[in-house]
Structure 1
């Protein structure tokens, strides 16, 4: 350290130790003073001194934080009137849409397009070999973890689809 930095450092330590004995000093103001220092070593020493002083001023009768948390949990458990949660809370609710398919068309690449009565168009994405004699039936579209599946009423199979329009 240079002489001027050492002098500032000694002066700050003297001010901090004298002011602590005379009256309680605002810790926030001391932090601001330490933060404004330009010399790294003096700033570090200032923060260390401030931290040591704050730890010395801490009352000894305080419980460790884990004991406080455990005690607070025990008190809240005895005070609370626990209501049971509804059974449906953990279950996933799958969004479903039931509609009438008015027409089906096979695309140029072998994928099917399903036209619903409300104007929605859904496209088959798994390119299975499907055959439909007539396309006038009800279908249910369900959400899946990877998109949507369509189940034609009266059939067991599902067709993976995506919204086209």
Structure 2
């Protein structure tokens, strides 16, 4: 005859095993609503419990996936590879990877030094460009051609006949 403590432990174990068997069988019989389980996991406030819930759900979803089914990324890669081999691939032009810099070449009709030491350049078409570097620039006359080029940080102006560039921005 068993002691009361041991009998109670055996009966608890038996009930526990029976409950696990019932829940696993009923879970296999009913389709699992993954969206509802995601909502339950998302509503958890404890970070550790929420992470564990998402991990368990992810593991369960991966186990339910049939072995012969490929993941979507592999399907997409395979479809792209097949379409690439089927189509007549034309070589890409060499200029495709290079950056095409937009340039404007114009005549500066006048230039004026502002109150804070920055220069304003007036083009023949009415555009006004302002120097942003505040360099020590000197001009004897302001009647020359200049090229405005786009840069990764804005615009640069190169005065014809000079090697240096001046960082500018459009004022008007």
Normalising to structure 1: TM-score of the pair?
0.61
Q: CA deviation at 1:115?
A: 0.7
Which string of whole-angstrom CA distances, capped at 9 and with x for unpartnered residues, describes residues 125-149 of structure 1?
1111111111111100011111111
Return 5+ residue gaps in structure 2 as ranges.
1-7
In structure 2, the CA distance between the partners of 1:54 and 1:129, relative to structure 1 (3 Å rule), is closer
| CA–CA separation in structure 1 for the residues paired with 2:25 and 2:154 | 70
Q: How far, CA to CA, are the matches of 1:75 and 1:98 in structure 2?
A: 48
Please say which of residues 108-117 and 5-14 is displaced more in the overlay.
5-14
User: Match of 2:106, SS?
Assistant: strand
Q: How many residues are paired up? A: 165
Distance 1:9 1:99, change over 3 A: farther
Q: Which runs of 4+ in 1 moved over 2 A?
A: 1-78
In the alignment, the residues of structure 2 paired with residue 18 and residue 61 of structure 1 have an alpha-carbon distance, to the nearest angstrom, of 24
Q: CA RMSD in A?
A: 5.6
CA contact (8 A) 1:104 1:115 kept: yes
Q: Tell me the alpha carbon deviations over residues 20-79 of structure 1, each in whole angstroms, 9 at most, x when there is no partner.
A: 999999999999999999999999999999999999997665345455345434433432
CA change 1:17–1:41 in 2 (3 A) is farther
Q: Distance in 2 between matches of 1:31 and 1:4?
A: 35
1:75-98 deviations in Å (ceiling 9; x for gaps) = 334322211111111111111111
Bigger shift: residues 48-57 or 120-129: 48-57
